[in-house]
Amino acid sequence: MNLLAVKQRFGIVGISPLLDHALNKAIRVAPTDLTVLISGESGVGKEVFSKVIHQLSARKHNPFLAVNCGAIPPGTINSELFGHEKGAFTGANTDRKGYFETANKGTIFLDEISELPLDTQAHLLRVLETGEFIRVGASTVRKTDVRVVAASNVDLMQRVRKGRFREDLYYRLSTVPIHIPPLRERKEDILILFRKFSRDCAERYRADPIKLEPDAEQLIIHYSWPGNVRQLKNVAEQLCVLSDSKYITSEQLISIIPDIRERNIPAIRHNNQDTPHERDILFKLLFDMKNDLDKLKGLIFQLVEDNNLQMPHILPNMSSEKNAQWETMAPEFVSPTSKENPSPLFVYPKTPQQGEIPNTSAEIPPQPSHAVEIGVVDSTLNIEEMEKQLIRKALLKHHGRRREAAKELGISERTLYRKIKQYEM
């Protein structure tokens, strides 16, 4: 089935390339039995996509159940999903089938999957991997054949980092991830959706469809729409019912959405999402860089001393405080120079004094004009590159054994595995 036919069948309105990409992905994965994870903000239409996947699959004649995991109390969610036996808890007067048993051979849509308790996540992982589950209060293992389509309006990977969502369940759910863009990223669809909602409302209540004045159109196009399509539909229906005129002005929009004139100004985001283990890697890498620079500095001073060279007194492009620090670090290698005509950062062969035996063992050019230039050490300051270097060193040191490498780095093996996958090492 082509894209336009799917949009007409399921009432999906929009011409945005981002929306078309997500819908094409859903159409292609629908005939399979792969688990799908739909991500997107609240109100973008995640349940509509789950119905598209079910109706275009071979399971379309079997049950489709939509379950809001955030609306079920944690104490009863295992019973709701997997069922219970009579007498399993107070009030369990009869045996009861759970959603997974009821939706056998069909599709179950788990909305707000991030709200599942950790123990329920373990049961769900077993169902996804083996199709087996146990009712609450029972000891008999049951089987089910259910396709799972999950959805979340939050970043599940952040929940994984905080220990609130199982990492193995995350990767099992996101076999095929589909991201539905928010309405603010589909500005070309806003006016089309508004006209559709106002026309549907007018037909329902037998009224004239409303239209937007040019200034009102600009307001709704540039509004951020935090509630996405659901919020836009509510605004269109309010205006259709409450407006005395079929032409909507900007003042009428402001009366319904007081903050519609506000603009979202980009702000600096304080990223506090680094885990202590990641900070430890960064600090360890910085300390190793400092040690390497100290060793390099010692090698340079040893080279100057062994080859009877001299260092400039005033270094170019360096403050007086830095020059004083240089003199303190290596006073025996400093020779006076003119401050009016400072020497560049060169090491010149030292001319032997009268009566002094020259050092003939050093292989240096006899001409003072051939100076040996000391280059600046070029080291990357990219944090990701430094992390990759440190992880690579640890893996080479321990011959690819992740457990020993993680211990050497001071991080967990799971964090190391995630970093290896992230950097494609």
For 145-176, what is the HEC assignment?
A: CCEEEEEECCCHHHHHHCCCCCHHHHHHHCCE
| Residue the block writes with tokens 């589950």 | 133
Q: What are phi and psi of 106, to 5 degrees?
A: -115, -150
User: Of all helices (H) and strands (E), which one includes residue 335?
Assistant: strand 334-335
Per-residue pLDDT of the chain (425 residues; tens, 9 = 90+): 789 999 999 999 999 999 999 999 999 999 999 999 999 999 999 999 999 999 999 999 999 999 999 999 988 999 999 999 998 888 889 999 999 999 999 999 999 999 999 999 999 999 999 999 999 999 999 999 999 999 999 999 999 999 999 999 999 999 999 999 999 999 999 999 999 999 999 999 888 889 999 999 999 999 999 999 999 999 999 999 988 888 999 999 999 999 888 765 444 444 444 444 566 677 777 777 877 888 787 777 777 777 766 655 444 445 555 555 555 554 444 444 444 444 444 444 445 555 555 554 444 444 444 444 444 444 455 677 788 888 888 888 888 888 888 888 888 887 888 888 888 77
**Separation in Å, CA 9 to CA 13, 52, 287:** 11, 9, 61
pLDDT at 310: 61
pLDDT at 268: 44
Contact 282, 383 (CB under 8 A): yes
**Separation in Å, CA 288 to CA 238, 299, 376, 406:** 63, 17, 18, 17
Question: Whole-structure pTM over 0.75, yes or no?
Answer: no
Task: Return the CATH class of domain 184-256.
Answer: mainly alpha
Query: Nearest 5°: CA angle at 280, between 278 and 285?
Result: 100
- Which tens digits make up the pLDDT trace of 352-372? 555 555 554 444 444 444 444
Instruction: Report the alpha-carbon distance of residue 406 to residue 280 in Å, rounded.
Output: 12
- Which tens digits make up the pLDDT trace of 60-106? 999 999 999 999 998 899 999 999 999 888 888 999 999 999 999 99
SS in 3 state form for 93-108? Answer: CCCECCHHHHCCCCEE
> According to CATH, where is 1.10.8.60 located in the chain?
184-256
pLDDT at 333: 45
Instruction: Report the alpha-carbon distance of residue 296 to residue 280 in Å, rounded.
Output: 24
pLDDT at 36: 97
> According to CATH, where is 3.40.50.300 located in the chain?
3-181
pLDDT at 278: 63
3-181 — its CATH code?
Answer: 3.40.50.300
pLDDT at 353: 52
Tokens of 318: 């360096």
From the number of C-beta atoms within 10 Å of its C-beta (0-12, 13-18, 19+), residue 359 rates as middle
Residues 245/246/250/253 CA torsion (nearest 10 deg): 90
Contact 181, 18 (CB under 8 A): yes
pLDDT at 108: 97
Beta bridge partners of 108: 65, 148
